[in-house]
Amino acid sequence: MSKRQADAQAGEGEDFRKKKLWGGRFSGSVDPLMHAYNESLSYDKRMWAQDIRGSIAYANANVATGILTAQERDQIVQGLGKVGEEWKNGTFVAAADDEDIHTANERRLKELIGPVAGKLHTGRSRNDQVATDVRLWLIDEAAASEKFLIELIKVITARARVEVDHLMPGYTHLQRAQPIRWSHLLLSHASNLISDLSRLRDLLPRISVLPLGSGPLAGNPFAGLDREAIAKELGFKTVGFNSMQSVSDRDFIVEFLFWSSLTMIHISKMAEDFIIYSTSEFGFIQLSDAYSTGSSIMPQKKNPDSLELLRGKSGRVFGQMSGLMMTLKGIPSTYNKDLQEDKEPLFDAVETIQRSLQIATGVISTMNIFPEKMRAALTPDMLATDLAEYLVRKGIPFRETHHVSGSAVRLSEEKKCLLSDLTLEELKKLNSAFEEDVEDVWKMDESVERRNAIGGTSKRAVLEQCDRIEAQLGA
């Protein structure tokens, strides 16, 4: 490198350093690689609207402190409005030294309104600013996530109502167990999602806590700053009451990532059921073409890629949560640069969960079912428990009737016949309480209707589940 090149690079480094918000302390140049390693504008620019909202609220509050005159506040607010328009229209041009959304917006504000922009940051730190931005952003995205989740639950519940008369095998250990309604299976997944909806609503107050006004860690030094007024203007439910905790707290992100992980696990479990039931071996359901793909070599294939991706992305979201928790586990008080690693996991998880909820809604609303294949899969051996319960109604203890029913199953296997083909005489040899009315045990519809307690698979119980879920959606 020539001396001229070296001098030019040194000059650029000095200019680069001087433009930093923190540059006054340093005399050396910044390694460009370090700048790239340190910057977050490439991903935190999605919070531009929240950063501007927070700055406007802070400017309004600082009229009461005397930091800003009303005229200066108006200049700042109007300037921030112009910055926001540039972001909205896609005309905002980032500068080389814009480290993050905060420096980018403040730099542009100064270009638009001059030195008065420098007053905006008085008493404020990027520590409380970024914590405020993230919370504001997540409040908005949690509301969107809630909307998508509600739509998914509505679609499942609507199908359950319409298709309530269809019967299918219920499985444990992937073995045929007892007859159920198809709707009962659908609502089992809706019930998990209703719990997820409740957890998300419970989380919102812990997201909606205002950090702004905490400064870098010790609080705001200017008398008259009304943090409660700022909270009200921005829509926060409460104000952070410890400035050290407020600037460093990321528990609300971890909680949202946990919520996302658990919700994705529930979506994954539902996807797995539908993947299995869509195979030729089952043939209970078929995905629409809109949510399927073909094989690059086998023309007959119709692959449930949408469901497989839903299943796979549950691991992705869980990985974001576990990664952030490892980042947080050893950080000392209060703000440390490690906390910059909170945003990419959060942004990715939010995008993934919202897309997944919408894809799941599309899959379920468009898939076809084959009730005749579901019913054809019902076999008399699935009524072995009903046979034991028949004897219970005759006054025999269940432990004894369970043994009798098991003996009947063994006898049918030995005879290579259906359980329902055993004669009354053969059953009487197992227990004398059997009578002619044992024939009613082999009626699938009646078996399902007997499960009529709350939460059961009878028609009344299933429709009651629909009512309960719909009531919770409006809570």
So which residues are the catalytic ones?
173, 295
Which residues form the domain of 105? 3-119
CATH number assigned to the domain comprising residue 424: 1.10.40.30
Of the candidate ranges 2-16, 44-58, 120-134, the one whose mean pLDDT is the lowest: 2-16
Domain co-membership, 330 together with 444: no
Domain co-membership, 44 together with 169: no
Residues linked to residue 178 through DSSP beta bridges, in sequence order: 170
Q: Are strands 238-239 and 167-172 parallel, antiparallel or unpaired?
A: unpaired
The arithmetic mean of pLDDT across residues 12-18, rounded, is: 44
Domain co-membership, 31 together with 90: yes
What's the pLDDT score for residue 302?
83
Instruction: Indicate whether 12 pLDDT > 50.
Output: no
Domain co-membership, 401 together with 316: no
CATH number assigned to the domain comprising residue 368: 1.20.200.10
Domain co-membership, 169 together with 277: yes
| The two structure tokens encoding residue 112 | 């638009």
What's the pLDDT score for residue 30?
74
Check residues 150 and 4 and name the one with the higher pLDDT: 150
Neighbours of 21 (CB within 10 A): 14
Geometric angle at alpha carbon 384, from 382 and 385, rounded to 5°: 100
Query: pLDDT, tens digit, for every residue of 251-288?
Result: 999 999 999 999 999 999 999 999 999 999 999 999 99
Instruction: Indicate whether 7 pLDDT > 90.
Output: no
In-domain check, residue 363: yes
The arithmetic mean of pLDDT across residues 317-323, rounded, is: 97
Instruction: Indicate whether 475 pLDDT > 60.
Output: no
CATH number assigned to the domain comprising residue 21: 1.10.275.10
Tell me the pLDDT of the chain averaged across its residues: 93
In-domain check, residue 146: yes
pLDDT class of 13 with cuts at 50, 70, 90: very low
Are 457 and 184 in contact, with CB atoms under 8 Å apart?
A: yes
The arithmetic mean of pLDDT across residues 35-44, rounded, is: 90
The Cα 80–Cα 75 span in angstroms is: 9
Domain boundary (342, 376, 410) is at 376
Instruction: Indicate whether 327 pLDDT > 90.
Output: yes
Domain boundary (331, 353, 376) is at 376
Instruction: Indicate whether 11 pLDDT > 80.
Output: no
pLDDT class of 17 with cuts at 50, 70, 90: very low
Query: pLDDT, tens digit, for every residue of 425-472?
Result: 999 999 999 999 999 999 999 999 999 999 999 999 999 999 999 999
Rounded percentage of the chain residues whose pLDDT exceeds 90: 89
Rounded percentage of the chain residues whose pLDDT exceeds 70: 92
Instruction: Indicate whether 18 pLDDT > 60.
Output: no
| Torsion sign over Cα 433, 435, 440, 442 | positive
Domain co-membership, 366 together with 252: yes
The arithmetic mean of pLDDT across residues 411-416, rounded, is: 96
In-domain check, residue 287: yes
Domain co-membership, 165 together with 68: no
Instruction: Indicate whether 364 pLDDT > 60.
Output: yes
Domain co-membership, 59 together with 139: no
In-domain check, residue 27: yes
The Cα 95–Cα 35 span in angstroms is: 13
Domain co-membership, 205 together with 349: yes
The Cα 57–Cα 223 span in angstroms is: 17
Question: 269: buried, middle or exposed (CB in 10 Å: 19+, 13-18, 0-12)?
Answer: middle
Domain co-membership, 277 together with 416: no
The arithmetic mean of pLDDT across residues 47-64, rounded, is: 98
Domain co-membership, 333 together with 421: no
Burial 315-348 (b: 16+ CB within 10 A, else e): eebbebbeebeebbeeeeebbeeebbbbbbbbbb
What's the pLDDT score for residue 294?
66
Instruction: Indicate whether 92 pLDDT > 80.
Output: yes
Query: pLDDT, tens digit, for every residue of 185-212?
Result: 999 999 999 999 999 999 999 999 999 9
Domain co-membership, 322 together with 275: yes
pTM: 0.90
What's the pLDDT score for residue 379?
96
Domain boundary (317, 348, 376) is at 376
> Total domain count for the chain?
3
| The two structure tokens encoding residue 334 | 């209060």
The arithmetic mean of pLDDT across residues 383-396, rounded, is: 96
The Cα 110–Cα 79 span in angstroms is: 9
What's the pLDDT score for residue 297?
65
Query: pLDDT, tens digit, for every residue of 233-242?
Result: 999 999 999 9
In-domain check, residue 124: no
